[in-house]
Structure 1
Amino acid sequence: MDELDLLARALPDARPPSPEVVARARARLTRPPVRRPVRRRTWTWTVAAAMATAAIVTLVFSLVAYLTPAPVALTPKANQALFDLADKIEKLPAESGVYWRQVLIHGSYLETGGFTHVASTRQEIWQSRDPDDPRVTLSWSEPIARPATAADERAWRAAGSPRRIKLPCEDGKRCPYVSFTDEPRQCSYKWDATAGGTLADRTVATLTMADLAAFPTDQARLKEKLRAYHSVWNERGFKDPFEKFLPVTTNLLNLPLRPDQRAALIRFLAGLPSTKVVGTVTDPLGRPALSVDFGVAGNTLVYDHKQGGELPTYPRTLLDPGTGSTLAFVSYATRTAVWATKGDPVTFTATAPESGWTAERPAPPKGCEKRK
């Protein structure tokens, strides 16, 4: 391969010569050679040709190095899974409907009779877009139970599939029972005409649907909005600094934000030093979820007032990998206790699949008692 081949391979996109250039070259090739006196300086020509070849090769490799970008080692962002999730959901269409229906399952894991079961209650909140419509809350207060895992179900069946189990309690007190059934029990409801369009969840601030519609997506404006919420937080008697308040704003992901608003909030939270992606897990209702530690403070559960038994827990937020909304808040045991092993889930609040915007209006089921 000569230097011209090297040039052709190094610059494959170069334009071919024009017809005029080709014609002149052919004329020179067919013209009779002109005889000139022979000079005895062959070594000079050889050295010059070698230097010219070296210069051409150097030029070719310089061009190749210039045209081919050097490989760049990209360092992945911390919490990259959250940034990827935000990019994924940002362009999703916004949902529509008259009422936003939020169905919450509050549950706890208990070990009784040689197996672990999940005892849970149900709550529904119906919030209208119209601030003049009352907020409707339905609650089923009697806990119902199911075996926690397939292995627990086998143990429950081996025990005779009991329909009711007595829960552990302190001495001298009446111990409650839990029923193994899929039907929630003891329904009651309330029409709150005084809500004035405010949402039931006030953990961050007192918000309306109009407030959520104006929730910013620009990162700088979003930070200022959260500072305003922090001021509300302090007015309620909390004295945490802004940095410790920010993990609390993860509760906004459980509200009816638009996909672009939720994506902006996820990006903001992903950049906080307190945030850490834990990994992919299964939520308490059996759905795949992204587990995130947003730096929210844990709680301590008291399981034996008489003997002072306490179980510290740490929380995780489980996000829907398709929408970025909250599937569940789960607390896990920090150590092994009477009915829990270190690292096991202890309590949870999960958003049921039927949650979301709907054109239906709330209708309490038959037999549901109205509360004042």
Structure 2
Amino acid sequence: MFARPRRLLVAAAAVAAIATGAVAYPVLDMGGEPAATASASQFFEGMAEVAQDAPATTPAYWKVRVETDNQDDGRRTDTSYFDREGRVWTVDADGTAHEPPAGEAGKVKKWPVGKRWLTWPQLEKLPTDEKTLAALFPKNPNSRFDQVTIMLEDSPAGPDLRAALFRILADTPGMKLVGDVRDSRGRAGVAVEITRKSWYTTGGEDEKVTTWATDRYIVDPDTGLLLETLHKTRSQNTPADRYTWLVVGPADHIG
């Protein structure tokens, strides 16, 4: 558990600004993309400080338990572990662990950074200066945003790297601070959203409909960990795809 010293004051001030209506919106031309609100940038800067203050760990395994709810898979909870070589173990609800098949291609856990897919040890070699790190990600702000949030969701990135990732988000256009919310498990967090153009098919591959999609990310302001992500496409009468991050962190053993 983290205390609430100076590092949370910026984030708290940004959320309070939403509540009082005292939010400044910079007027910037981002090539059709709305600029990130000042309050969203302040919140991410605050989360960078929180992330940087977290203790560094060198675990044998990394554990991820996520509940997903979407129209394709329904609601399900998956628990997995992976080691520093990227081998992935899956664990059933009764605790039965399944070892990764020997030599099976495509079963190594990696994260996208630009055109590369990096393993856990490679993440540790990434620069932690946000400008140097940002140059490794796509120049397109939407693609950069997607890759950064994927890493923040479930990677074993260390405190300095997570701080740099949050600072990249602070400079990414299109973000909006929503404020205090609770996720589907009732956990308190702070929500940020990004709305951007999207498309979906109505039948054949050529029958594409352009619309807008909103992604919401709920962050624990005490730890900087993502609690939940929701992806909603306008013009579709379906619930938002939901990913609730129940456990993301170090583990000494599997099970």
Q: TM-score, normalised by structure 2?
A: 0.67
2:243 partner letter: T
Rounded Cα–Cα distance in structure 2 between residues aligned with 1:319 and 1:82: 10
Q: Which residue in 2 is equivalent to 1:291? A: 191
Rounded Cα–Cα distance in structure 2 between residues aligned with 1:189 and 1:301: 36
Q: How does 1:171-210 map to 2 (within 5 A)?
A: 189=98, 191-194=100-103, 198-202=108-112, 205-210=116-121
More strand by share: 2
Contact kept, 8 Å, 1:134 with 1:196, in 2: the verdict is: no
Q: How does 1:264-343 map to 2 (within 5 A)?
A: 264-294=164-194, 298=198, 300=200, 313-332=213-232, 334=234, 337=237
Contact kept, 8 Å, 1:103 with 1:352, in 2: the verdict is: yes
- Say whether residues 1:125 and 2:80 are aligned partners: yes
- Say whether residues 1:136 and 2:89 are aligned partners: yes
- Say whether residues 1:346 and 2:240 are aligned partners: yes
Q: Which residue in 2 is equivalent to 1:251? A: 150
More helix by share: 1
Rounded Cα–Cα distance in structure 1 between residues aligned with 2:113 and 2:77: 20
Deviation at 1:253, TM superposition (A): 0.6
1:123 partner letter: D
Q: How does 1:141-180 map to 2 (within 5 A)?
A: none
Deviation at 1:213, TM superposition (A): 0.9
Rounded Cα–Cα distance in structure 2 between residues aligned with 1:279 and 1:210: 35
Q: Would you identify which runs of 4 or more consecutive aligned residues in structure 1 move more than 6 Å?
A: none
Deviation at 1:300, TM superposition (A): 4.5
Rounded Cα–Cα distance in structure 2 between residues aligned with 1:269 and 1:188: 36
Contact kept, 8 Å, 1:135 with 1:197, in 2: the verdict is: yes
Report the count of equivalent residues.
209
What SS class does the counterpart of residue 350 from structure 1 fall into? Answer: strand
What SS class does the counterpart of residue 56 from structure 2 fall into? Answer: coil
2:109 partner letter: L
What SS class does the counterpart of residue 206 from structure 1 fall into? Answer: strand
Deviation at 1:332, TM superposition (A): 3.3
What SS class does the counterpart of residue 214 from structure 1 fall into? Answer: coil
Q: Which residue in 1 is equivalent to 2:62? A: 100
Rounded Cα–Cα distance in structure 2 between residues aligned with 1:197 and 1:191: 7
1:242 partner letter: N
Higher Cα Rg: structure 1 or 2? 1
Unmatched segments (≥5 aa) in structure 2: 1-23, 26-37
Q: Which residue in 1 is equivalent to 2:249? A: 356
Rounded Cα–Cα distance in structure 2 between residues aligned with 1:295 and 1:333: 10
Rounded Cα–Cα distance in structure 2 between residues aligned with 1:203 and 1:266: 15
- Say whether residues 1:86 and 2:48 are aligned partners: yes
Deviation at 1:211, TM superposition (A): 1.3
Distance 1:192 1:134, change over 3 A: farther
Q: Which residue in 2 is equivalent to 1:365? A: none
State the Cα RMSD in Å: 3.7
Q: TM-score, normalised by structure 1?
A: 0.48
Distance 1:93 1:120, change over 3 A: same
Rounded Cα–Cα distance in structure 1 between residues aligned with 2:157 and 2:196: 21
Tell me: higher relative CO, structure 1 or 2? Use CA pairs within 8 A at least 6 residues apart.
2
Contact kept, 8 Å, 1:89 with 1:322, in 2: the verdict is: no
What SS class does the counterpart of residue 126 from structure 2 fall into? Answer: coil
Contact kept, 8 Å, 1:203 with 1:251, in 2: the verdict is: no
Rounded Cα–Cα distance in structure 2 between residues aligned with 1:312 and 1:190: 41
